[in-house]
Amino acid sequence: MTPETLFYIIIAIILIDFVIDKILDTLNAKHFDDPIPNELEDVYDNDEYEKSQRYKKERFRFGMISSTFSVLLTLGFIIFDGFAFVDNIARNFSDNSTVVALIFFGIIMLGSDILMTPFSWYSTFVIEEKYGFNKTTKKTFILDKLKGLLMGAIIGGGILALIVWFYQFAGDDFWWYAWILVAVFSVFMNMFYAKLIVPLFNKQTPLNDGSLRTKIEQYARSVGFKLDNIFVIDGSKRSTKANAYFSGFGSEKRITLYDTLINDLEEEEIVAVLAHEVGHYKKNHIIVNLVVSLVTTGFTLWLLSLFVGNPVLSETLGVSEPSFHIGLVAFGILYSPISEITGLIMNYISRKFEYQADNFAKSTYDGSFLISSLKKLSKNTLSNLTPHKAYIFVHYSHPSLLQRYRNLKAGI
Ligand SMILES: [Zn+2]
């Protein structure tokens, strides 16, 4: 295949992906004003429903503008040989291919981050602020950005440097080494993310003794679940939106509750949310997710190893001297239709897992408390109660509130 053909394929992939995404967004937006299903009528009163419609529409318009900007930027960068330009800059600093790759991705990541920052600023301090969600101060916003960039440089840079190094000594067999590296790193992060990374951004405190803790422990005992680590995180530092999640396994497993969740929900509702999280653990969802993502990574790396050394990839992006990092960029774009498909499959599995976790909470605790907590959480995030089916199929990692309601109600 000639570089010209491949060039047009790359442009087509980016455009088609964008157009499909926008069609889905528009389809979904057409249903923003639909009447609320009977089962969910008590989520909003009239004023709140109108407010949620304004919020959805504003988010939709914002998404249109920011994604159009981002796709034009990407296309312009490719068409005007941006990658060759940055590659040249990086080569002026060093002859070492690892160093060149680090500088190359450093410039691209930093550049795109800076260009997109006005959008995330607007999202946080204009849109979220207007609807009363935002609690982030400007100082926190800037610190978050800096910490995020620093972490990306250390972790992303470290992994990239090792993979380029593997490629230097192992050639096309590098993917085995890269796979082992990513696998070890994923398991490590899964275990220690809460201890190592979260404290950089949030404060976590063990849940105090009291009626909530007693109820949680009673429930955990009733399902034979050993739970020593229940933490409360200061999510209210950034947003009023509430959450709870499960992380780690073995002795490192812990449940993290947002302080906003504790404020918004009754104790029984919190236990129901927790029962759902325990369901994920008991049904082995955490292990399955990890294994599936490792298999996908292995497949991607293997495919990368077949193409990355091909000079056509570099020429396609206007770079005369082939290199691992340019091959990686071109491969990344060409691979995106496949990752769209694996993403669809992952979302499908994830929604199945959500039903299973809901059913676990229903059978071991109480479905109606879970329903009322889901309704409250939807109300407090002004969430869309009438999403389009196709949009759910592509984008939702959780079933819609209506789907979960019907599943939880079935058989009660
Ligand atoms: Zn879940």
The full 3-state SS of 139-182, as one line of letters, equals HHHHHHHHHHHHHHHHHHHHHHHHHHHHHHHHHHHHHHHHHHHH
Confidence band (pLDDT; 50, 70, 90) for 250? confident
* Residue 41: pLDDT over 80: yes
Question: For residues 369 and 272, is the Cβ–Cβ distance under 8 A?
Answer: yes
* Residue 249: pLDDT over 80: no
Confidence band (pLDDT; 50, 70, 90) for 191? confident
* Residue 336: pLDDT over 70: yes
Sign of the C-alpha dihedral computed for residues 84, 86, 89 and 95 taken in this order = negative
pLDDT at residue 387, as a whole number? 96
Residue 354 CA to ligand 1 center (angstroms) comes to 5
Beta strands 244-247 and 204-206, pairing class? unpaired
Write out the two tokens for 408. 């939880």
- Residue with the bigger pLDDT between 133 and 227: it is 133
- pLDDT tens-place string over residues 388-409: 999 999 999 999 999 999 999 9
Neighbour-count burial of 114, counting CB atoms closer than 10 A to its CB (0-12 exposed, 13-18 middle, 19+ buried): exposed
- Please report, for residues 43, 49, 115, 401, the alpha-carbon distance to residue 385 in angstroms, rounded to integers and kept in the order given: 9, 10, 33, 7
Question: For residues 237 and 136, is the Cβ–Cβ distance under 8 A?
Answer: yes
Beta strands 204-206 and 254-258, pairing class? unpaired
Write out the two tokens for 387. 């999403």
- pLDDT tens-place string over residues 371-392: 999 999 999 999 999 999 999 9
pLDDT at residue 412, as a whole number? 58
| Count of other CB atoms within 10 angstroms of residue 226 | 9
pLDDT at residue 254, as a whole number? 87
pLDDT at residue 153, as a whole number? 95
Residue 276 CA to ligand 1 center (angstroms) comes to 6
pLDDT at residue 197, as a whole number? 93
* Residue 354: pLDDT over 90: yes
* Residue 226: pLDDT over 90: no
Confidence band (pLDDT; 50, 70, 90) for 246? confident
pLDDT at residue 256, as a whole number? 92
Phi, psi of 14 (to 5 degrees): -65, -45
Question: Mean of the pLDDT values across residues 123-137?
Answer: 96
Catalytic annotation, pick one of 4, 58, 269, 277: 277
* Residue 411: pLDDT over 80: no
* Residue 268: pLDDT over 80: yes
Residue 150 CA to ligand 1 center (angstroms) comes to 30
DSSP state at residue 94: -
pLDDT at residue 57, as a whole number? 96
| Residue whose C-alpha is closest to residue 97's, from 326, 260, 273, 268 | 326
Cβ neighbors of 54 (< 8 A, separation 6 or more) are none
Question: CA–CA separation, 261 vs 255, rounded Å?
Answer: 13
Question: Mean of the pLDDT values across residues 193-205?
Answer: 93
- pLDDT tens-place string over residues 68-103: 999 999 999 999 999 999 999 999 999 999 999 999
322: left (phi over 0), alpha (psi -120 to 50) or beta: beta
Calculate the average pLDDT of the chain.
Answer: 94
Question: CA–CA separation, 44 vs 384, rounded Å?
Answer: 11
pLDDT at residue 344, as a whole number? 96
Confidence band (pLDDT; 50, 70, 90) for 170? very high
Q: What is the percent of the chain with per-residue pLDDT over 90, rounded to a whole number?
A: 89
Residue 357 CA to ligand 1 center (angstroms) comes to 6
Residue 358 CA to ligand 1 center (angstroms) comes to 8
Write out the two tokens for 253. 């497993």
Judge whether 217 counts as a catalytic residue.
no
Residue 349 CA to ligand 1 center (angstroms) comes to 12
DSSP state at residue 256: E
